[in-house]
Amino acid sequence: MLRRRLEAALYCLFLLLGSFLVVESAIGVNWGTISFHKMKPSTVVDLLKSNRVEKVKLFDADSRVLKALMGSGIQVMVGIPNEMLASLSSSSLASDLWVRQNVSSYVVKGGVDIRYVAVGNEPFLTSYNGEYQSYIMPALLNIQQSLAKANLASYVKLVVPCNADAYESSLPSQGAFRPELTQLMTQIVSFLNSNGSPFIVNIYPFLSLYGNSDFPQDYAFFEGTTHAVTDGSNIYYNAFDGNYDTLVSALTKIGFGQMPIVIGEVGWPSDGAMGANLTAARVFNQGLINHVLSNKGTPLRPGVPPVDVYLFSLLDEGAKSVLPGNFERHWGIFSFDGQAKYPLNLGLGNKVLKNAKNVEYLPSRWCIANPFRDLADVTNHIKLACSVADCSTLNYGGSCNGIGAKGNISYAFNSYYQLQMQNEKSCEFDGLGMITFRDPSIGECRFLVGVTDHRSLSSRSSGESALIWVSILWVFWTLIL
């Protein structure tokens, strides 16, 4: 009798706890660092904090970034780059070392709250031709063992961020993993499931729109569509839900229809292609956040939104490859220097984004085309400058596409000059370049001033200005005398 009562009481307690534990999905961000102009990691962590971001996803385990996150209380996903999978899958020693150096040493009191380790990043992309596929399972098993040895196996969860091209179908209900991946996916998902890990997927309606001229534009957004997709009794009003449910169907087909799903990357670029602009990025991201936080879920998972959603991305990364397109360097909700590109309510307490504070800029000067010189021989200089520095906004669809021939030259010169940390020589271009103190930005086309993450540089520039003052005083002095 007593036991019955105890059981009943326990059951009530569970129900009660359950109702408190209904976890709403949270918005986090991806923090990538492939940039020529990096802010100090502590400046970025302050940016996260002032925007009340509590979850951040990294692509590696950069010690400078992790040190800056210490004591922040921010939950962190660290990543293992695909290039490291071969060694981690073949050597438990390597995986022990990786876990020790990049996880255990941080997960201490006052350290970094590492919750996930992403094993590889989109390792199933068709463009990799299967290069990484065979490493995933052995790497998962090795790292899981290393985590267990470090007593972290129940706290730190392994995940495998998956690109959306791992599954396919014309209708969400028909979703299935690519045939050659089915067996591997079954193994992986079964491992994740027994481990209490979610399935992580990256979803990009922008890429569907960009890669397919027939794709109905309004279906990529969340504002309603004249191209709704009817799938049996379900109707889809946006590409995100359609894609998500295609994954739900694919998971169901391999026996894991209940698998929790985390969106590892989703976002919209603001520059570098026709459909990539500030308005579209704001409308997409705000629509996505509102949609997810409404807890509506999708037709196949009504009322169950994704566990977490990591926006791609926090900051622009101007050193990324433009192979996918010039837009690749413009995914940030903030520009490279932590300035909000548009108003966005992340649903985390602030109504709009707050800019980064105490950003250490190089001095306010730019390199432009010398207006007094004949610029006929400039082609090679531009080619060289833009082969290393970022000129992605100059091209068709970019914010600087309409600034004219001279503007093009100046833009290229300046990008290179800032990349070289405003080294005077880097503005020479055989006498065709010229340093100016007036901001040459035109309309939406911004001529950047670099930032630095090294104190030394800013002290050098104050040293320089001290020198200038001394010379002014000297001139003044000689004039008086």
∠ at Cα 55 (52, 60), nearest 5°?
130
Binding mask 185-224 for ligand NAG (x = CB under 6 A): --------------------------------x-------
CA atoms within 13 A on the CB side of 238: 19
Is residue 360 a contact point for ligand NAG (CB under 6 A)?
Answer: no
Residue 479 parent element (H or E): helix 455-480
- For 14, half-sphere exposure in the C-beta direction (CA atoms, 13 angstrom radius) is 6
Q: Which residue stretch of 58-66, 295-303, 338-346, 423-431 sits at the interface with ligand NAG (rule: CB under 6 A)?
A: 58-66
What residue has token string 């209900």?
Answer: 173
Stretch that binds ligand NAG, among 163-171, 305-313, 348-356, 391-399 (CB under 6 A): 391-399
Q: Which amino acid does the sequence have at 178?
A: R
Single-letter residue type at 250:
A
Cβ 234 to ligand NAG, closest distance in Å? 26
Q: Which residues are catalytic?
A: 122, 265
Number of residues that make up the chain: 481
Q: Which class for 121: exposed (0-12), middle (13-18), buried (19 or more C-beta within 10 A)?
A: buried
Torsion angle of alpha carbons 214, 216, 221, 225, nearest 10°? -170
Q: Which is nearer to ligand NAG, 62 or 453 (CB)?
A: 62
Among 405, 466, 467, 470, binds ligand NAG (CB under 6 A): 405
434 binds ligand NAG (CB under 6 A): no
Please report whether residue 97 would count as binding ligand NAG according to CB under 6 A.
Answer: yes
Among 26, 39, 61, 434, binds ligand NAG (CB under 6 A): 61
Nearer to ligand NAG by C-beta: 159 or 181? 159
- Partner residues linked to 116 by β-bridges: 77, 157
* Rg of the chain in Å (alpha carbons): 26
> Which of residues 356 and 432 has its CB atom nearest to ligand NAG in the complex?
432
Helix or strand run (H / E) with residue 80? strand 75-80
The reply on whether position 279 binds ligand NAG by CB under 6 A is: yes
| Binding status of residue 280 toward ligand NAG by CB under 6 A | yes
Q: How far is the CB of 53 from ligand NAG (least distance, A)?
A: 22
Binding site for ligand NAG (CB under 6 A): 60-62, 97-98, 101-102, 217, 275, 277, 279-280, 394-396, 404-405, 408
